[in-house]
Structure 1
Amino acid sequence: MTTASYPPKPVPGDRVAVVSPSGGLPGLFPLPHELGLERLRKEFGLEPVEYPATRKMGSTPRERAADLHAAFADPDIKAVVASIGGDDQITVLPLLDRELIRANPKPFFGMSDNTNLLAFLRNSGIVGFHGASVMCELGRPGAMHPHTAESLRAALFTSGEYELRPAERWRDIDRDWADPATFDAEPETRPGTGWTWHNADQVVEGRSWGGCLEIVGWLLMADREIARDLSEYDGGVLLLETSEDMPSAREVYYTLRGMGERGLLQRFPALLMGRPKTWSFEHPGSPEEGARYAADQREAVLRAMREYAPDATIVFDVDFGHTDPQLVLPYGGVIRVDGPARRITVTY
């Protein structure tokens, strides 16, 4: 069984790599990227170092793999941060030198399509961190959300326990990154609704696995970075969330059903389900439509879990993934889900 270990932490003043393992969107939308780099310097005291493909739209998988190898191999680089996600990081995985990365463990921060690399790192024995990309979280208009900033700071610089808490306010609607006016003020938020618990009658503490549901589905289809021995996941905490592609409730159920038939869902006595993205530029629905979408997704998740893992503790609308604020979660690290106390604690 692979036991993932926490890599050494950076300290203020260190150099950190900024890479684009998926898409070179910093080249298309420089405003949030530059803002994110500035915050890394000024608010976190870290010196970002960009690599050749970071701002290159249309970079090849081999170019992106080379950037990752260079970042992990450089002893002066103390952490690696993704600029953003994308949709083809799965093509980079076969090109990665597992032994090089395993010999140079570093904290990696990313989410969405970076689920690929997080799963690769976990299988290589390295705890990663689900969240905090440069363009989305660090480059948030106006200011970083305080919950995101606090969580990221703890994940970057500390090694102890950190208790998650529901957001008092959150937002779902995006604004145009190409418009400079977008960055003049913080986005509008709405009151928080808290987390919703099911089967909250047990305490589960285990190592996490999962990520963006669509990417997990692709990994399963390609049979990549899934443990050969599924007992690897026994007693763990499953993390799942959906992207701005807004998969239908039917698609969510089908993916979970496939995981159940594979024997995966049954391994996890706890599931943390991120608050779903219910608005995008391609699907700009009303708040009421968004609420229906979220309710339909919740029922699809409950249906699958009732069929394959009926006793699992489930927490819905946890603030991670494609949402704002975004809590950073250790991927392959320890998470404690205390149902009776309604508390979630992560170990950074």
Structure 2
Amino acid sequence: MTRPDIIRRHIAVVAPSLQAALIGPAVHKQAMRRIGSEFGFPPVEYQSVREPLSAQQRANDINSASKQRNCKAIFAVAGGNDSITLLKYLDRNVLATSRTPFVGYSDNTAIHNFLWKIGRTSYYGGSTQIQLGPGPSIDPIQSGSIKKVLEGKGYLELLKPSHYEVRGIDWHSPLALTEGGLRSPYPEYLWAGEPKITKGRSWGGCVQTLLQLAVMNELPTPLQLRGAILFLELSDEHLGDGNVLKLVRAFGEAGYFNAVGAVLFGLPPHSISQETAQLAVPNPSAATKLLSAVSSEIGKYNDELPRVLGVPIGHLRPQYVIPYGGTIEVDGVNKTVRAYYEAC
């Protein structure tokens, strides 16, 4: 690992959970090149990217990167399944005073929630191995929102892409470096609730990880989320539509939909499998059917609650990197969603 203290300004790259760089080294190498060329800062790979480490050691990479004055951001390589094991090793004092934005999604929801609880803004999206390394280039939506994170100012309107994919080519294949996954037309957003303008601090993340955090009693209460923008998205480890609705119902019974100011729900990564598990065509009709059911379920608890379902966040490409604990505006009058990017 290059010593970050001798680099004037850089982007730290860490692996809080899955060591995706070891699974697809060529894709990882391309992601590191693109970070430098696309965003203008050299990447510094921490030990967790290259070696199997304990939860404490992986947490220490985040702690260490957060101390570096010249670190522009911390990028997670990928999600995984055990970021919850890092929480007890994250240095609350260091992270509470750090100005370095953490960027990642999926299983990294656990780390975002930790930062949210200590008053920090982080950014949800942008894993290097999934969004930056594969394919012929970085999607403009992806690049534009990451640049906003690094600038620490301004806003983006979360416009609907023309097409999207839910799974790329196997990282072991040379084609993963030059070709993207199979794409389908992106469906229209579903708008519901009172047509008004709502602006608030965001909280949420990957549903599968939020279930883990709920068991650990790590979720904020409805009172703590009063007026917030709640955003939820699903990983490609499918729960089944019925179980998703059960979770939404549980949020309703707990009182969240009578506390938050608005709800965003990411487009589910539903797909139609092809000959191999690595090839899948996105299934927008199935995704939209689930979103309609989710909206109806929320409406049983608060039908006036503004909600936008099908936004490009989470487990798909292209994907907006949005503030977690920062400001999001849902404008039901003009049917726009804006994410605001501020220095952490």
Distance in 2, matches of 1:144 and 1:284, equals 20
Report the secondary structure of 1:218's partner residue: helix
Cα distance change, pair 31–285 in 1 and its aligned pair in 2 (3 A): closer
| CA drift at 1:296 | 4.2
Structure 2: distance between partners of 1:103 and 1:231:
25
Aligned to 1:7: none
Structure 1 stretches lacking a partner, 5+ long: 1-11
Q: Tell me the distance in 1 between the aligned counterparts of 2:321 and 2:41.
A: 18
Q: Distance in 1 between matches of 2:194 and 2:254?
A: 26
Aligned to 1:29: 24
Say whether the 8 Å CA contact 1:253–1:303 is kept in structure 2: no
Q: Among residues 239, 246, 258, which one is paired with 1:247 in the alignment?
A: 239
Aligned to 1:311: 304
**1:200/1:191 Cα in 2 relative to 1: closer, same or farther (>3 Å)?**
farther
SS in 2 for 1:244: coil
Q: 5+ unaligned residues in a row in structure 2: which ranges?
A: 1-6
Q: Which amino acid aligns with 1:301?
A: V
| Number of the residue aligned with 2:332 | 339
CA contact (8 A) 2:134 2:178 kept: no
Residue 46 of structure 1 corresponds to 41
CA distance change for structure 1 residues 13 and 193 in 2, over 3 Å: closer, same or farther? farther
Are residue 123 (structure 1) and residue 117 (structure 2) matched? Answer: yes
Matched residue type, 2:242 = R
2:95 counterpart (88, 101, 109)? 101
CA RMSD in angstroms, aligned pairs only:
2.1
2:168 and 2:279 in contact (8 A); partners too: no
- Residue 74 of structure 1 pairs with residue 74 of structure 2: no
Amino acid at match of 1:137: Q
1:41: how far off?
0.5
Shift in alpha-carbon separation, 1:35–1:285, aligned structure 2, 3 A: closer
Q: CA deviation at 1:304?
A: 2.7
Determine what percentage of the aligned residue pairs are the same residue. 30
Structure 2 partner of 1:175:
169
Moved more, 245-254 or 326-335: 245-254
* Distance across 2 between alignment mates of 1:93 and 1:210: 17
TM-score by length of 2: 0.90
**SS of structure 1 residue aligned to 2:238:** coil
Corresponding residue SS for 1:43: helix
Q: Specify the code of the residue in structure 2 equivalent to 1:167.
A: P
The answer to whether the 8 Å contact 1:72/1:106 transfers is yes
Other structure's SS at 1:53 match: helix
Q: State the one-letter code of the partner of 2:11.
A: V
The amino acid that maps onto 1:245 is E
Paired residues of 1:25 and 1:56 also in contact (CA < 8 A): no
| Counterpart mapping for 1:128-167 below 5 A | 128-167=122-161
SS at match of 2:49: coil
In 2, the alpha carbon distance for the partners of 1:282 and 1:260 equals 35
TM value normalised by structure 1: 0.89
Among 261, 264, 275, the residue aligned to 2:256? 264
Distance 1:140 1:200, change over 3 A: farther
Structure 1 distance, partners of 2:194, 2:338, is: 15
Is 1:25–1:55's contact at 8 Å kept on the other side of the alignment? no
Distance in 1 between residues matched to 2:284 and 2:186, nearest whole Å: 13
Structure 1 CA distance for aligned equivalents of residues 167 and 20 of structure 2: 19
Query: Is this contact kept in 1: 2:134–2:179, CA < 8 A?
Result: no
What CA deviation, in whole Å up to 9, does each residue of 1:185-205 have, x standing for no partner? 344433332312112511111
Per-residue deviation, 1:284: 6.4
Q: Which residue of 2 aligns with 1:273?
A: 265
Deviations 1:146-195 (A, max 9, x none): 11111221222141222221102222342111111222234443333231
Distance change in 2, residues 1:294/1:190 (3 Å): closer
Give the count of matched residue pairs: 332
Please state if 1:324 is matched with 2:325.
no
Indicate the residue corresponding to 2:4 in structure 1. Answer: none
